Amino acid sequence: MPQNFQIFPVGVVRKKEEATWIEIFEPYGDALLGLEGFSHIQVLFWFHENDTADRRKTLRVHPRKDKKNPLTGVFATHSPLRPNLIGLTICRIKSIKGRHIEIEDIDAADDTPVVDIKCYIPGSTSRSDVRVPDWV
Amino acid sequence: MPQNFQIFPVGVVRKKEEATWIEIFEPYGDALLGLEGFSHIQVLFWFHENDTADRRKTLRVHPRKDKKNPLTGVFATHSPLRPNLIGLTICRIKSIKGRHIEIEDIDAADDTPVVDIKCYIPGSTSRSDVRVPDWV
């Protein structure tokens, strides 16, 4: 297995006053065709502020930075500290104009690099009959 | 913004006879603490068979490889051909033994590199009131 893989920013999160949008970079604009048929997208982004060798070695955290929550492996959390700094969130699309996807909101900061967009398909990307631990 | 980011395999998909599991590599075993509290995980993997510069330039596909489906931008699909070859699926956990997460099933092949595991939290990772196009 290769030691590592390369990923590239395909866009960026933009927040200005009341508006929030994802700007897809010019080389990837053609990948948006048909996205207007969906109400929601999954946005994969990069926790770029944590991209140091040291931070990427963090394997356990107190979820939500709350010491009252039990020390937990990062694979059992959505912590922004993890070996591969991929963040994942679901956003509602407000409009698509050219390479700008206006969204209702996103739990990622302005200027966050976006690495992938996937359509949100219920059933494929959701489950029922789910169990979670107490801290959730 | 940096031109690219590095990601590393943290594990691998294993399929043998009736069993399917994710083997997390030794350096990342500590990241599993507390995962047993969850019934489901989100598995992020790498479509390693498509990791060529040429394939990664594919921006439009016929979804599900069906020519009857309209030509669609890869960001509006879950196609394994996309600029960053990150696959995403939800799996039900059957058991966790050491660094082996036995799962019910996964739509990824044996030997597929795993790049991240996230706990599945309903509400956070699912949505209602969703609209999808006809081809879905």
pLDDT tens-digit readout, B75-108? 999 999 999 999 999 999 999 999 999 999 999 9
- Residue with more model confidence, B132 or A55: A55
Integer Cα distance of B133 and A26 in angstroms: 25
Residue with tokens 């912590």: A79
pLDDT digit string, tens, across residues A81-112: 999 999 999 999 999 999 999 999 999 999 99
Q: Alpha carbon of A67 to those of A62, A75, A76, A80: distances in Å? A: 6, 18, 16, 16
Cβ–Cβ of A76/B119 closer than 8 Å? yes
DSSP characters for A18-77? TEEEEEE-GGGGGGGTTGGG-SEEEEEEE-GGG-STTGGG--EE-GGG-TTSPPEEGGGS
pLDDT of residue B1: 77
ipTM of the complex: 0.92
Query: A69 in contact with B at a CB cutoff of 8 Å?
Result: no
Query: B32 in contact with A at a CB cutoff of 8 Å?
Result: yes
Integer Cα distance of A88 and A85 in angstroms: 10
A84: nearest CB among B30, B88, B116: B116
pLDDT at A124 over 60: no
A84: nearest CB among B42, B76, B115: B115
DSSP annotation of A122 reads T
> Which of A3, A105, A91, A7 lies closest to A47, judged by CA?
A7
